Structure 1
Amino acid sequence: MSPAPALSRPLVPHAARRLLTALLSALVLVAMLMLSPAGAAPAAGAAGDAWSGPAVRGADVSTDDEVTAQVTLTVDSLAPEVVSTGEDVTIAGTITNGTDQALTDATLVVQMQSRTEMTTTGLASWLADEHDTPLATVALQTLEEEIAPGAERDFRVTVSSDDLPLTDTEQWGPRGVQVALTQGYTTLTEDRTILLWNPGVRVSPTRVTAFVPVTASPEELVALTAATPATPEERAAAPSASATPTAGASAGAAAGGTTDPDGAEAAAGAAGSATGNAEGAGDTADGSDTANADSGRAQARSSDADAAQTLAALRERVLGLLELADDGVVLAVDPALLTALGLDATAQATASPSPAAEAEQPDGTDADRLRHALAAALEAGDVVALPWADADLSALAHLGEHGLIDSALERAADSATAQAGAGTSVVWSAGALDGAMLALLPDSVTTVVAAPGDVPVAVDLTYTPSGTMTLDGRTVLIPEERLSAAAGGSLLTDQGDADLSDLDAVQLLRGETAILTRQAPAVSRDMVVAVSREDAARTDPEVLRKRLSALTNSTWTQAQDLGSLLDSAADSATTGAEAARVALPDSATGEGEVTAMTLSAARAAATRLDSVASILSDPAGALGVSPDVVALSTSSAWRTDEAACTTMINQARAHGEAVTQALAAAPSSTINLIASAADLPVRIVSSLDQDVTVTVHLESSSTRLQISDDVTVTVPAHGQTTASVPVTAVGSGDVDLTIQLRSDDGENVGTPSTVHLRVRADWENVGTRILGGVLVVLLVAGIVRTVRRGRRTATPRERR
Structure 2
Amino acid sequence: MTHPRSGAWARAVAVLAAIGAFSLGTVPAASADDATSNATVSIGEVTPAILDYDTEVTVVATVTNTGSEPITDATARLGIDREDGHTRSWVETWSTADDDGPVGLEILTEEIDEIEPGEDASVTFEFTRAQAGIGSWTDWGAHGIAVAVSTGDGVVVDRTFVVWSPEGSDDVAPVQVGLLAPVVGPLVSTDPTTAELALTDAVRPDRRLADVVAATEDQPIAWAVDPWLVQEANLVETDDAESWVADVVAGAQDRDVFALPALDPDPAALAHAGEDVPRLDVTGPGSEWRTDLIWPAPAPDQATVAASADAADFVVVTGALAPSASSVATPDATTRVDVDGSSATAVVADESLSDLITRATSGDAEVGDARQVMAETATIAAERPSQTTTVLAAFPRDWTPDAELTADALSALDALPWAGVVDLDTVLETTPTPGSRTPLPASVVADAELDVADVDLLVRDRASIAEFSTIVEDPDALLAQVDPALVAPTAIAGRDEPEARDSDVVIAHGRAAELLDAVSIVESSDYNLIAESGDLRVNVQNDLGQDATVQVVLEPDDSALQADTVPPAVITAGTVTPVPVPVTAVGSGDVNVTISILAPDGSRVADSSTFEVRVRADWAGVGLWVISIILGGFLVGGIWRTVRRHRRSTATARSEQGATP
Same fold (TM over 0.5): yes
The answer to whether structure 1 residue 331 and structure 2 residue 249 are counterparts is no
After the TM superposition, which residues 100-119 of structure 1 pair with which residues of structure 2 at under 5 Å, given as runs?
Answer: 100-116=68-84, 118-119=86-87
The residue aligned with 1:709 is none
- Indicate the residue corresponding to 2:150 in structure 1: 182
**Deviation of residue 566 (structure 1)?**
2.9
Task: Tell me the equivalent position of 2:659.
Answer: none
Give 2:161's match in structure 1, choosing from 170, 194, 199: 194
Q: Whole-Å Cα distance in 1 between the matches of residues 458 and 300 of structure 2? A: 26
Q: Pick from 355, 373, 380: which aligns with 1:516?
A: 380
Asked if 1:637 corresponds to 2:493, the answer is yes
Q: Distance in 2 between matches of 1:321 and 1:470?
A: 32
State the Cα distance separating 1:94 from its structure 2 match: 3.7
Between Structure 1 and Structure 2, which shows a larger proportion of helix residues?
1
Instruction: Give a deviation string over 1:508-558, Cα, whole Å, max 9, x none.
Output: 222122111111111222222323324x24x53544444444544421123
Structure 1 CA distance for aligned equivalents of residues 369 and 191 of structure 2? 31
Matched with 1:374 is 248
| Closer/same/farther in 2, CA of residues 631 and 506 from structure 1, 3 Å limit | farther
> Unmatched 5+ residue regions in structure 1?
1-56, 58-62, 231-303, 348-363, 491-498, 607-624, 656-692, 694-711, 713-744, 746-800
- Kept in 2, the 8 Å contact 1:446–1:475? The answer is yes
Q: 1:604 to 1:544 in 2, by over 3 A?
A: farther
Question: Residues 312, 482 of structure 1: CA spacing in aligned structure 2 closer, same or farther, 3 A cutoff?
Answer: closer
**Aligned mate of 1:313, from 207, 218, 236:** 207
Structure 2 residue aligned with 1:724: none
2:260 maps to what in 1? 386
Q: Which amino acid aligns with 1:381?
A: R
| Aligned-partner Cα distance in 2 for 1:584–1:430 | 14
CA 1:188–1:567: 2 relative to 1, 3 Å: closer
Residues in 1 aligned to 2:75 and 2:302: alpha-carbon distance in whole angstroms:
59
Q: What is the Cα-based RMSD across aligned positions, in Å?
A: 4.9
Going from structure 1 to structure 2, the CA distance change for 1:632 and 1:193 (only over 3 Å counts) comes to farther
Q: Is the 8 A contact 1:344 1:416 kept in 2?
A: no
* Distance in structure 2 (CA, Å) of the matches to 1:98 and 1:488: 30
Separation in 1, partners of 2:229, 2:199: 20
Deviates more, 1:442-451 or 1:385-394: 442-451
Q: Residue 349 of structure 2: which of 475, 479, 501 is its match?
A: 479
The Cα of 1:568 is off from its aligned counterpart by 2.6
Secondary structure in 1 matching 2:105: strand
> 1:333 is aligned with what amino acid?
V
Distance 1:385 1:334 in 2: 6
Q: 2:333 aligns with which of 467, 475, 498?
A: 467
Deviation track 1:216-273 (CA, whole Å, cap 9, x = no partner) reads 367xx6899895768xxxxxxxxxxxxxxxxxxxxxxxxxxxxxxxxxxxxxxxxxxx
Shift in Å at residue 314 of structure 1? 2.6
For the Cα contact (< 8 Å) 1:325–1:377, is it kept in 2?
A: no
The answer to whether the Cα contact below 8 Å between 2:34 and 2:155 also exists between their aligned partners in 1 is: no
Q: Distance in 2 between matches of 1:156 and 1:652?
A: 63
Question: 1:203, 1:556 within 8 Å by CA — same for their partners in 2?
Answer: yes
Among residues 297, 302, 320, which one is paired with 1:430 in the alignment?
297
- Residue 127 of structure 1, CA deviation: 1.5
Equivalent positions of 1:233-632 (< 5 A) are 312-323=206-217, 325-326=219-220, 329-340=221-232, 342-343=233-234, 365-402=239-276, 405-406=277-278, 409-411=279-281, 414-419=282-287, 421-440=288-307, 445-454=312-321, 457=324, 460-470=326-336, 472=342, 474-489=344-359, 501-534=365-398, 536-537=399-400, 539-569=401-431, 578-579=434-435, 585-596=441-452, 599=455, 628-632=484-488
Cα separation, 2, equivalents of 1:558 and 1:77: 23
Q: AA paired with 1:369?
A: S
Q: Given residue 120 of structure 2, which amino acid in structure 1 is its aligned partner?
A: R
**Pick aligned residue for 1:125 from 79, 93, 96:** 93
Letter in 2 for 1:484: S
Between the aligned partners of 1:194 and 1:223, the Cα distance in structure 2 is: 50
Map of 1:159 onto structure 2: 126
TM-superposition CA deviations, 1:727-751 (whole Å, max 9, x none)? xxxxxxxxxxxxxxxxxx9xxxxxx
Q: Give secondary structure in 1 for the equivalent of 2:271.
A: helix
Q: Is contact 1:553-1:559 (8 Å) kept?
A: no
Q: CA deviation at 1:330?
A: 2.1
User: Is the 2:86–2:379 Cα contact (8 Å) retained in structure 1?
Assistant: yes
2-side partners of 1:540 and 1:654: how far apart? 42
| 1:343 maps to amino acid | N
CA distance in 2 between counterparts of 1:644 and 1:64 reads 40
Segment drifting more, 577-586 vs 421-430: 577-586
Quick one: which amino acid aligns to residue 88 of structure 1? E
Shift in Å, 1:427:
0.6
Opposite residue 176 of structure 1, the aligned amino acid is: G
Structure 2 unaligned regions, length at least 5: 1-24, 26-30, 463-480, 512-544, 546-573, 575-604, 606-661
Deviation of the 1:416 alpha carbon: 3.1
CA offsets, 1:651-692, max 9 Å, x none?
A: 99999xxxxxxxxxxxxxxxxxxxxxxxxxxxxxxxxxxxxx
For the structure 1 residues 443 and 101, does the alpha-carbon distance in structure 2 shift closer, same or farther, using more than 3 Å as the test?
A: closer
Deviation of 1:193 (Å) = 1.8
CA distance in 2, matches of 1:181, 1:422: 55
For 1:557-597, what per-residue CA distance to the aligned partner results, in whole angstroms no more than 9, with x for missing partners?
A: 2333232333332xx5xxxx644666655534334222135
Deviations 1:599-628 (A, max 9, x none): 58989999xxxxxxxxxxxxxxxxxx9995
Note if contact 2:185-2:209 (Cα within 8 Å) is conserved in structure 1.
no
**Equivalents in 1 of 2:61, 2:509: separation in Å?**
52
Aligned to 1:207: 176
Q: Classify the secondary structure of the residue corresponding to 1:389.
A: coil
Q: Secondary structure at the match of 1:110?
A: strand
> 1:632/1:549 Cα in 2 relative to 1: closer, same or farther (>3 Å)?
farther
Percent identical among aligned pairs is: 22
1:647-686 alignment runs, 5 A limit: none
Q: Offset at 1:315?
A: 3.8
- Check conservation: 1:181, 1:190, Cα contact below 8 A: yes
What displacement does 1:140 show?
3.0
Pair 313,64 (structure 1): closer, same or farther in 2 beyond 3 Å = farther
Q: Name the TM-score, length of structure 2 as normaliser.
A: 0.59
SS at match of 2:253: helix
Q: How many residues are treated as equivalent by the alignment?
A: 465
Q: 1:145 to 1:204 in 2, by over 3 A?
A: same
CA distance in 2 between counterparts of 1:140 and 1:226 reads 66
Matched, 1:144 2:113: yes
Kept after mapping to 2: 8 A contact 1:66/1:98? no
CA distance in 2, matches of 1:384, 1:307: 24
Contact 1:389/1:635 (CA < 8 Å) preserved in 2?
yes
Letter of the 2:424 partner, please give it. Answer: L
Supply the distance in 2 between the matched residues of 1:554 and 1:430 (Cα, whole angstroms).
31
